[in-house]
A and B are shown apart, each in its own frame.
Chain A
Amino acid sequence: MIVQMVRRFVREEIVPLELSLDPDTDQLPPDESERLKDMVKDMGLYGLGIPPEYGGPELDMVTMTLIAMEMSQHRAGLYAPCYGVFGGAGLAQLFEANEAQKEAYLYPTLRGEKRGFFGLTEPSGGSDPARAIQTKAVRDGDDWVINGGKIFISGADRADYGLVFARTSADKGRGGVTCFIVDTNTPGFHVRRVVHTLRSAHYATELQFEDMRVPHGNVLGEVNKGFAIANDRLSRQRIPYSAGCIGVAIKANELAVEYAQVRETFGAPLASRQSIQWMLVDNEIDIQQARWATLEAANLSDLGEPFRKQAAMAKLIASEGASRVVDRCMQIHGGYGVTKDFPFERWYREMRIRRIGEGPSEVQRHIIARDILGSSLR
């Protein structure tokens, strides 16, 4: 029922509106955004990602996953599902914060008054951040003084605060990393530039910290235990991340099925050619596999069972499968497939990032191997 409401909303409100927008935008005109937010509130679906104990609706992970598969079924849907009119949920790690931190950061974020960023990756590497982090935080009285930098950080230039991971002990691995909540107006915090990528929505930025003083009260969790916070977030995030890929693949395939039936070459519709049929069959298989893997991970999470391996498998299958689906659909559309008149070129570019962001495919395989072979595998 809820899933169908979201599907109708995407098809009747978002897709037609999108036709009049710049094909690369990630924002709606303010009046349209407000109008649609009001509609979503009337439907009782605003703040879908907020946990029930913080005022969000009582939805299980499987339902959330099915909804996420619907919300991405439009041109900007991969990185700006429904242009944010369903509201944000805040950074997942903040749910681990103490009450004072929740008052200052979590609740204003849930009310839509503040925005945060997630600052883990550094120029020295993102696949293995526990070892790669070089940003240093040194205790000085009641403060920590942070020096270093981050790269590929989404949305930091528009954020009010961010989670910054820094090395706080001589330990070279995951034991020596602490997570700090940093206000972006802190002296020494700099957003140096936009990092231009294949992605049209939510550009990434490069950050520099110069003698940035952060109060000890802004340590999230415990000193030297920040990496567990990062890791937990990354595992959980992989489920909706996979669902977003699947939604785009479903929409791309739907367009290709329609097109193959009406476009004629050599006196017959494309759909009558076996090579085209097989592309559509392969799309169907990729989509089904990804759907099953993602829903299994969601179901395990609902049951309170370990789901790290399944989430990694879902992320791998969905991001790689959806990339193949978009590529085949582009091929079926011929020259039109690569124009900005159709959504495929944006999906093609942005889907490429999905095999790198939130842990690249190789890292997912590494996680799965570790699960199979035991945690001693490094």
Chain B
Amino acid sequence: MSVALTKPWIPLEQSAVAALPGQLGVFEIADEHREVSYIGFAGSKSLFGLRSELSEWLDRGSYFRVEVTTAYRTRHLELLMDHHRRCGCYPEQNSESELAGLGRLS
């Protein structure tokens, strides 16, 4: 069973990010080969939700995709665990502190 994000990738450009909603949710950043390099979330502390979070990533990836959800914390952890289940590793740009105490799916 896969719980992965399956939305189409969008080029990570200023105009696309500016068009994003200011809602809470999760997002993935990918490199030019569409390999996921970061999984993040826009939580209630983000000023403009997904739009502000993604604008921090403009120079650090080639593609992105988002999912609007108020359960952003549990969905974020689930996406990280699912990535590990499928790839055997975590996305290279996620820091140690984001991965601390993470569970596992199998």
| Residues in A lying within 8 Å of B, measured CB to CB | 22-27, 29-30, 155-159, 189-194, 196-197, 200, 203, 205, 340
Chain B hits for A205, CB < 8 A: 103
Q: Is the CB of A193 within 8 A of B72?
A: no
Are A24 and B101 CB-contacts (below 8 A) given A191-B106, A193-B78, A196-B75? Answer: no
Give the Cβ gap from B49 to chain A, nearest Cβ, in Å. 11
Residues of B at under 8 Å CB distance from A? Answer: 1, 3, 43-45, 69, 71-75, 77-78, 81, 97, 100-106
Residue in A closest to B70 when the chains form the complex, CB atoms: A24
Identify A193's interface contact among B1, B45, B69, B73, CB under 8 A. B1
Sampled A-B contacts (12; CB under 8 Å): A24-B43, A24-B73, A158-B101, A158-B102, A190-B106, A191-B105, A194-B78, A196-B69, A196-B74, A200-B74, A203-B78, A340-B44
How close is A94's CB to chain B, nearest CB, in angstroms? Answer: 21
Contacts of A340 in B (CB 8 A): 44
Chain A nearest Cβ from B30, distance in angstroms: 22
Cβ contacts under 8 Å, B101 to chain A: 27, 158
Find out whether the CB atom of B74 lies under 8 angstroms from the CB atom of A194.
Answer: yes
Chain A residues, CB < 8 A from B102: 158
Are A200 and B78 also in contact (CB < 8 A) when A22-B45, A27-B101, A157-B104 are?
A: no
Report B-chain residues with C-beta under 8 Å of the C-beta of A29: 97
Nearest residue (CB) in A for B45 is A22
A25-B73, A157-B105, A340-B44 known; A193 and B3 CB under 8 Å?
Answer: yes
A192–B73 CB distance below 8 A: no
The 8 closest A-B pairs by CB, nearest first: A157-B103, A158-B103, A340-B44, A194-B78, A203-B74, A196-B71, A190-B106, A22-B43
Q: Which among A29, A155, A156, A340 has the greatest number of chain B C-beta atoms within 10 A? A: A340
A200: B residues at CB distance < 8 A: 71, 73-74
Output the nearest chain B residue to A349 by Cβ-Cβ distance. Answer: B70
B3 touches A23 (CB 8 A): no
Q: Find out whether the CB atom of B73 lies under 8 angstroms from the CB atom of A22.
A: yes
Which B residues touch A157, using CB under 8 A?
81, 103-105
Q: How far is the CA of A197 from the CA of B101 in the complex (A)?
A: 20
Question: Once bound together, how far apart are the Cα atoms of A30 and B98, in whole Å?
Answer: 11
B contact residues around A192 at 8 Å (CB):
1, 105
Report the Cα distance A205→B106, complex, angstroms. Answer: 12
Q: Which residues of A contact B78 (CB under 8 A)?
A: 193-194, 196, 203
Identify B44's interface contact among A24, A26, A159, A189, CB under 8 A.
Answer: A24
| Chain A residue with Cβ nearest B103 | A157
Given contacts A25-B73, A340-B44, 8 further A-B contacts (CB under 8 A): A156-B103, A157-B103, A189-B106, A193-B105, A194-B75, A196-B75, A197-B71, A205-B103
Known contacts A27-B101, A30-B100, A157-B105; decide if A194 and B44 are in contact (CB<8 Å): no
